[in-house]
Amino acid sequence: MSLSLRIKERAAELGFCKTRIVAANRLETEGDLFFRWLETGFHGEMAWINREPEKRIDPKQIFPDARSLVVLAMNYYTPHAHDDSTPAGKISRYAWGDDYHDVMRERLRDLLEWIKMEDPEADGKICVDTTPVLEKAWAVRAGIGWLGKHTNVITPTHGSWVFLGEIILNLEVEYDTAIVEDHCGSCTACIDACPTNAIVKPYVVDSRKCISYATIELRDETLPAEIAANQNGWLYGCDICQDVCPWNRFEKPTKEMRFEPRNNETSLPLESLAEMQHDEYVERFRGSAMKRAKLSGLKRNAAAISLLKGEP
């Protein structure tokens, strides 16, 4: 069995639902689209995206010995719903369980160590979101799935409920060449459903209009009026464009228990957030992706939901 096939077999054992391997060449066309997106200002106040953008399209600028890119997807779907029985703020599905950065990083590190044992000449670098890599572009190039009109990668087998990660390797191995055809067709469900019109045209999102961006990344003391008026109860993130996607009928429950909702919570009571102190916040969100918004951000988001509902 080739090393490529053995890597995929081991990745499946570690919980990845899809693994593809491609040459670590510069992303030319995808890079041009990315630079135009930046020039338009669609990244909003996420200055880190515009920092050393060349690294995002050329793996050799991250890992000089790069020869191959192992692209992996991990299913995070759990079959639960938001609790609307009490005044609460909805949490995006990806943040229900443990921080996916931690889970993915551990599994990718295990896989890289295994590769090194298989080939003593092997070396590499693991990448999980925070590393400057155009993950979705690489997932499309590698054949993990296609880029949906909502700009999430859609897989034919698991829909869009997947996390992405990469290992940049110094080895040349057998590469995957098949790509997944775009199956969005004439569907505009995600565009039509977005309450803030953040999907300004197919395959392009203006972050400044996005509920996820506003409730997670934006550091302003108050939410933009257009966001607050159309928040739809979202406390942290937003899943509307994925919830309405017809391809998510192929969703399958993940086997990773760490993605199950913490404390069985898919929403958080607004009153408890309003009263939450820093020490409680630190304990409650330790190891959670929700710490990204900070306590001040969660309180701001909760206050906006309460105001819209006319609650004290």
Task: Show Cβ contacts of residue 204 under 8 Å, excluding neighbours closer than 6 positions.
Answer: 37, 42, 151
> 21 with 71: CB under 8 angstroms?
yes
**What is the chain written as a DSSP string?**
--HHHHHHHHHHHTT-SEEEEEE----HHHHHHHHHHHHHTTTTT-GGGGSSTHHHH-GGGTSTT--EEEEEEEE---------SSSEEEE-GGGSSS-HHHHHHHHHHHHHHHHHHH-TT--EEEE-SSSS--HHHHHHHHTS-EE-TTSSEEBTTTBT-EEEEEEEESS--PPP---PPP--TT--HHHHH-TT--EEETTEE-GGG-HHIIIII---SS--HHHHHT-TTEEE---HHHHT-GGGGG----S-GGGSPGGG-SEEEHHHHHH--HHHHHHHTTT-GGGGGHHHHHHHHHHHHHHHHT--
- Phi, psi angle pair for 73, to nearest 5°: -125, 140
pLDDT of 131 = 87
pLDDT of 121 = 96
Quote the crossing angle between the two packed helices 135-142 and 28-40, to the nearest 10°: 150
pLDDT of 312 = 52
Rounded Cα distance, 161 and 253, in Å: 10
Backbone conformation region of residue 61, classed left if phi is above 0, alpha if psi is from -120 to 50, else beta: alpha
pLDDT of 310 = 59
The residue extents of the domains of the chain are 3-80+98-169, 189-309
Looking at residue 167, its amino acid is I
Catalytic residue among 83, 110, 129, 182: 129
Task: Show Cβ contacts of residue 301 under 8 Å, excluding neighbours closer than 6 positions.
Answer: 89, 215, 223, 231, 234, 235, 236, 293
Exposure string for 97-106, b = 16+ CB within 10 A, e = fewer: bbbbbebbbe
* Catalytic residue flag (residue 129): yes
User: Is residue 307 packed enough to be buried (19+ CB in 10 Å), middle (13-18) or exposed (0-12)?
Assistant: middle
First to last CA, the chain: 64
pLDDT of 309 = 65
- Mark the ranges of the chain whose per-residue pLDDT is less than 70: 85, 309-312
User: Which two three-digit tokens encode residue 44?
Assistant: 């909003």
